[in-house]
Amino acid sequence: MNSKLEYFIRSIRRLQACYNAGRSFPRKEIKTTAFGINGYKNSAQSIQCSLYVPSCWFHSSISTSSQNTFVYVGSSDANEQKITNDLDHEQNFKPVQLNSSEEVRNTSKESDEFDISQKFFSDLQKCVSPCDVLDCAAKSEVSLKYVSNCFSTMWMLKKKTLKSQKYDETKMMLEHPQFRQLCQHVMDEAKYMDSNDLAHTLLSVVKLGVPQNTLLVQTLLRTCQERVNEFNTQCISIIANALKVMEKCKNVEALQLGLQLLLQDKVHKISNVFVLQTIMRSIGKDVPLTLKKKLENKMLNLMSHFTVPNAFQMFRVLGEMDYLSVPILNACSKTVIENIEGTQFLNLLNVLKTGKQLRYQNRILYSALADYAASVFYTWNRNEVILLLSAFENLSVHPVQLMDKFLEEVMLHPESLNLKDVIIILRAYSNLNHLSSGQSQEFLDSLNSILNKHLHEIDNMDLLRVVYSFCLAGYLPQLALNQLLQEEILSDLIKSEKSLSMLPAINVCLELDGDSSSTSTILSEKLSSLPKKILDFSYPEIQEALLTLLENENLFQINVQLTQGYCLDFEILMDANRKIALTSTEADQLKGDPNLKRIAVLCPPASAFSNPSQHPKGRLAMKIRHLNRLGYQVILVSYKEFQKLEKDEAVLFFKRQIFLAENI
């Protein structure tokens, strides 16, 4: 009996297997992309081969309930043996073929579906607005593939809509009766959608501006969470792109976490550079550092497959990830330099912006970009050149040839500039200290004349910025200064922290670059009420070298504060022939003697110089100019480089700088 029971149990399992092979499939299992549509067919339509049905299905001992489950209704030794024999012999399985008339009906039905699909997508391509898409959807039978394409098409059409018309188009779309039906259909059928369609639908709905707190968006987010394991790398990229523009909420954060965990497992399978770059751009910067490292390592493994466009794109990708990968950027920089001819403006600008954002230092790259920009200067318009100048200035890169050519162009056509252009150009030329040529005065006069035409419309902060830029260049724009020094404007600016570094500089320029009539009592009074910052830096290696050279610590002063607000790291007083260093007491006896030599040793940071020439930037250049007018001779020391010198080399450096050559 035990043997018969074992046969019976095995028979039941075989019956269940046969039943599952022939039953109607659930919607998720019978999806088909025939004709580009997600439709659902019964088992006879879905299975193209012959369907084998065991003869035991027709025995009275087995029946099916309305829920399509097997129910055992009788048992006898004969029945058990019969079931066993039927299952153990293949000849008892009889093929059931679809008759020819049914095949004709199925073929005809598929042909009709193809025609309907073709007509729908043809009509979809003719739509010119989101409402046209909704009208088209209202005339067709709704399917999941149709819905996904409807939302994607509406988004693409909205992107092409004029900015002034977007609000009205969006309002009409949201109020269209078919839009509600499409949304309801998506909410009802989201769990059955193809994973790719689901991802595109979420992205399109978000980009269309459907509020995030609506049931539609939250349903799509929840469905994506439940089906996250079904997504391939393309779907991950699409969904991550949608999440980037969404506000933080529980469903968004949960889906982001799920995508990150999924991506951790799929990174090693990615073999296409473009796909990997797309994913890295989409996930953005708010991902764990461990995942960024994995993506970086995978990208390094694919570096041999990089093309020139991939190299330029990599700068944008790392910028959007806010991740500095020096090995990747160095490799891409080499590719960019070798293939720089024909570089498009946007690619060039993007490399400069990313370099600034990530603080990536590569003098060879930036020099090559500056030289190339100068060589193709006349192929770009004025706005493009101004954007490049601003990008170079932000990077502290001094493109000498480019700035020379643009200066000449401005001199020829100054009337083509507007107020915004003047502000950007002045900031670039003054901060990079590119105003030493013979044409600088005429150039500044031209910019000042343009500024005077716009003084009635300029806001206070822009007025401060433009006057500050003029002052860095040693030029005092009288009309702009008169407007800036009005008590009402100064009272407004003094409240802003952004102005606290610019107003004192303007005040010093009025004192040292102008005449006695140009000083402002109002500005001095306003600044006197502000707390003064005392700068106190320590440079022990320099102090030791000076002590070794001068052999007396009283022969140099440390951290000397001048009344103009400047701080000298070291001050050395010498006789007229620069042979002997003097103490402060000896110098007081020669007070007022024009032959008394004052030497200021400054240790500015690396950021005070432009690349690659180490040319002093605007603020440092202004300080040197003012110290020269106060009677100082300035010695600049790069403290970082000075620390690399041996003690004897450091002493020799100061000996050559402080004493005249004939006195050494």
- What average pLDDT does the segment 609-627 reach? 88
- Is residue 230 one of the residues assigned to a domain? no
Q: 9 falls in which pLDDT band (50, 70, 90)? A: low
Q: 124 falls in which pLDDT band (50, 70, 90)? A: confident
* Same domain? 633 vs 590: yes
* Same domain? 420 vs 487: yes
- Is residue 245 one of the residues assigned to a domain? no
Domain boundary among 475, 503, 530: 530
Q: 116 falls in which pLDDT band (50, 70, 90)? A: low
- Is residue 479 one of the residues assigned to a domain? yes
* Same domain? 330 vs 348: yes
- What average pLDDT does the segment 354-368 reach? 93
**CA–CA separation, 351 and 335 (whole Å):** 13
* Same domain? 428 vs 519: yes
Average pLDDT of the chain to the nearest whole number: 79
For 235, the token pair is 């779907």
Each residue of 454-477: pLDDT tens digit? 999 999 999 999 999 999 998 999
Residue 86 predicted with pLDDT over 50: no
- Is residue 183 one of the residues assigned to a domain? no
* Same domain? 319 vs 349: yes
* Same domain? 348 vs 379: yes
Residue 51 predicted with pLDDT over 80: no
Q: 19 falls in which pLDDT band (50, 70, 90)? A: very low
Residue 80 predicted with pLDDT over 70: no
Domain boundary among 530, 558, 576: 530
**Confidence (pLDDT) at 128:** 86
* Same domain? 525 vs 544: no
Q: 413 falls in which pLDDT band (50, 70, 90)? A: confident
* Same domain? 649 vs 579: yes
**CA–CA separation, 543 and 578 (whole Å):** 20
User: Which has the higher per-residue pLDDT, 312 or 13?
Assistant: 312
- What average pLDDT does the segment 644-660 reach? 88
- Is residue 263 one of the residues assigned to a domain? no
**Confidence (pLDDT) at 468:** 94
Contact (CB, 8 A) for 63 and 49: no
- Is residue 5 one of the residues assigned to a domain? no
Each residue of 532-578: pLDDT tens digit? 766 667 888 999 999 998 888 888 889 888 888 889 999 998 887 77
User: Which has the higher per-residue pLDDT, 85 or 566?
Assistant: 566
Domain housing 495: 413-530
Q: Is 23 exposed, middle or buried (0-12, 13-18, 19+ CB in 10 A)?
A: exposed
HEC string of 31-45?
EECHHHCCEECCHHH
User: Which has the higher per-residue pLDDT, 49 or 147?
Assistant: 147
Q: What is the pTM of this model?
A: 0.74
- What average pLDDT does the segment 472-498 reach? 88
Task: Report the amino acid identity of residue 319.
Answer: G
* Same domain? 462 vs 428: yes
Domain count, the chain: 3
**Confidence (pLDDT) at 595:** 73
- What average pLDDT does the segment 607-629 reach? 89
* Same domain? 363 vs 438: no
- What average pLDDT does the segment 118-144 reach? 79
* Same domain? 523 vs 444: yes
* Same domain? 589 vs 616: yes
Q: Tell me: cis bond preceding 327? Omega within 30 of 0 counts.
A: no
Residue 211 predicted with pLDDT over 50: yes
Domain boundary among 364, 397, 430: 397
- Is residue 49 one of the residues assigned to a domain? no
**Which of 284-288, 296-300, 580-584 bottoms out in mean pLDDT, i.e. has the lowest?**
580-584
- Is residue 18 one of the residues assigned to a domain? no
Which residue's entry shows tokens 């709704």?
A: 142
Provide DSSP, 64-84: E-TTS-EEE----HHHHHHHH
